[in-house]
Amino acid sequence: MQVLSPPEQIDFAHNKELLNRYRFIEYETLRILAAWLPATADMDWKLAMGRLLWEDAQHVQLLYQRLREIQTPAFRPPGDAALERLMAESIHAPSAADLLAGLFRVIKPALAATYRWHSEQTFANPDAPTLYAFKHILIDEEAHLAWAKEALADHPQGEWEAYIAGLLAAAGGVSGRGERQRHAGVSLGAPPPTPPASRAQFETPRTAARDDRFNLVDRNAGQRIQTIDQETQRRMDFESYSQEMLAAETVALIIHLSPDMPWAFTYDSARHCYDETRHCKLGIEWLAHHGHNYIEVPQNTRIYAWRSQYDAATQYCLLTMGNETHAFPRRHEQMAGYAETGDRLSAQYVSYDMADERQHVVFGHKWLPELMAKNGIDRPVDEFIEETVALWEREYSSGALPIPAVVGG
Ligand SMILES: [Fe+2]
Ligand SMILES: [Fe+2]
Question: In the predicted model, is pLDDT for residue 4 greater than 70?
Answer: no
Q: How far is the CA of 324 from the centre of ligand 2 (A)?
A: 6
What the chain holds in terms of domains, given with CATH numbers, is 12-182 (1.20.1260.10), 230-397 (1.20.1260)
Return mean pLDDT, the chain: 92
Ligand 2 centroid distance, CA of 214 (Å):
23
* Range of lowest pLDDT (19-33, 210-224, 338-352): 210-224
pLDDT of residue 222: 55
* Ligand with smallest separation from the Cα of 359: 2
Q: What's the CA-to-centroid distance between 275 and ligand 2, angstroms?
A: 7
Counting other chains too, the contacts that 322-331 makes at CB distance below 8 Å and 24 or more residues apart are 322/388, 322/389, 322/392, 322/393, 322/396, 323/247, 323/392, 323/396, 324/357, 324/360, 324/361, 324/364, 325/361, 325/364, 325/389, 327/357, 328/354, 328/357, 330/237, 331/357
For ligand 1, the distance from its centroid to the CA atom of residue 355, given in whole angstroms, is 10
Instruction: Return the ligand number nearest the Cα of 282.
Output: 1
**pLDDT band, very low/low/confident/very high, at 230 (cuts 50, 70, 90):** confident
CA of 279 to the centre of ligand 1 (A): 5
Q: Is 48 helix (H, G, I), strand (E, B) or coil?
A: helix
For residue 330, report the distance from its CA to the centre of ligand 2, in Å.
14
CA of 105 to the centre of ligand 2 (A): 32
Are 313 and 385 spatial neighbours (Cβ–Cβ below 8 Å)? no
Question: What stretch of H or E contains 44?
Answer: helix 43-70
Determine the pLDDT at residue 188: 52
Question: Cα separation of 251 and 229, whole Å?
Answer: 33
Q: Which protein residues have their CB within 5 A of the ion that is ligand 1?
A: 244, 276, 279
Res 99: pLDDT: 98
Of the pLDDT bands very low, low, confident and very high (cuts 50, 70, 90), residue 226 is low
Question: Of the ligands numbered here, which is closest to the C-alpha atom of 361?
Answer: 2
Q: Ligand 1 mean position to 366 CA, how many Å?
A: 18
Which tops the pLDDT comparison, 379 or 123? 379
The per-residue pLDDT for 8 is 73
Q: Work out the average pLDDT over 345-364.
A: 97
Ligand 2 centre from 317 Cα, in Å?
12
Distance 360 CA to ligand 1 centre (A): 9
Tell me the Ramachandran region of residue 216: left when phi exceeds 0, alpha when psi lies from -120 to 50, beta otherwise. Answer: beta
Question: Predicted confidence band at 123 (pLDDT cuts at 50, 70, 90)?
Answer: confident
Ligand 1 center to residue 275 CA distance, Å?
A: 7
Residue 251 C-alpha to ligand 1 middle, in angstroms? 11
pLDDT at position 43 over 50: yes
Average pLDDT for 398-404: 91
pLDDT confidence of 183, banded at 50, 70, 90?
A: very low
What's the 360 CA to ligand 2 centre distance in angstroms?
5
Name the CA dihedral angle for 206, 367, 51, 102, rounded to a multiple of 10 degrees.
60
C-beta separation of 307 from 250 below 8 A: yes
Closest CA to 355 of 394, 324, 318: 324
Ligand nearest the Cα of residue 276 is 1
The arithmetic mean of pLDDT across residues 156-183, rounded, is 87
The per-residue pLDDT for range 80-102, each reduced to its tens digit, is 999 999 999 999 999 999 999 99
Ligand 1 center from residue 361 Cα (angstroms): 11
Give distance in angstroms: CA of 290 to centre of ligand 2.
24
Interval between CA 347 and ligand 1 midpoint (Å): 15
Mean pLDDT of 39-55: 98
> How far, in Å, is the centroid of ligand 2 from the Cα of 171?
39
pTM of the predicted protein model? 0.94
Ligand that comes closest to the CA of residue 324: 2
How does DSSP assign 320-342, residue by residue?
IIIIIGGGHHHHHHHHHHHHHHT
What ligand has the least distance to the C-alpha of 240? 1
Tell me, in angstroms, the distance from the centre of ligand 1 to residue 316's CA: 13
Ligand nearest to the CA of 319: 2
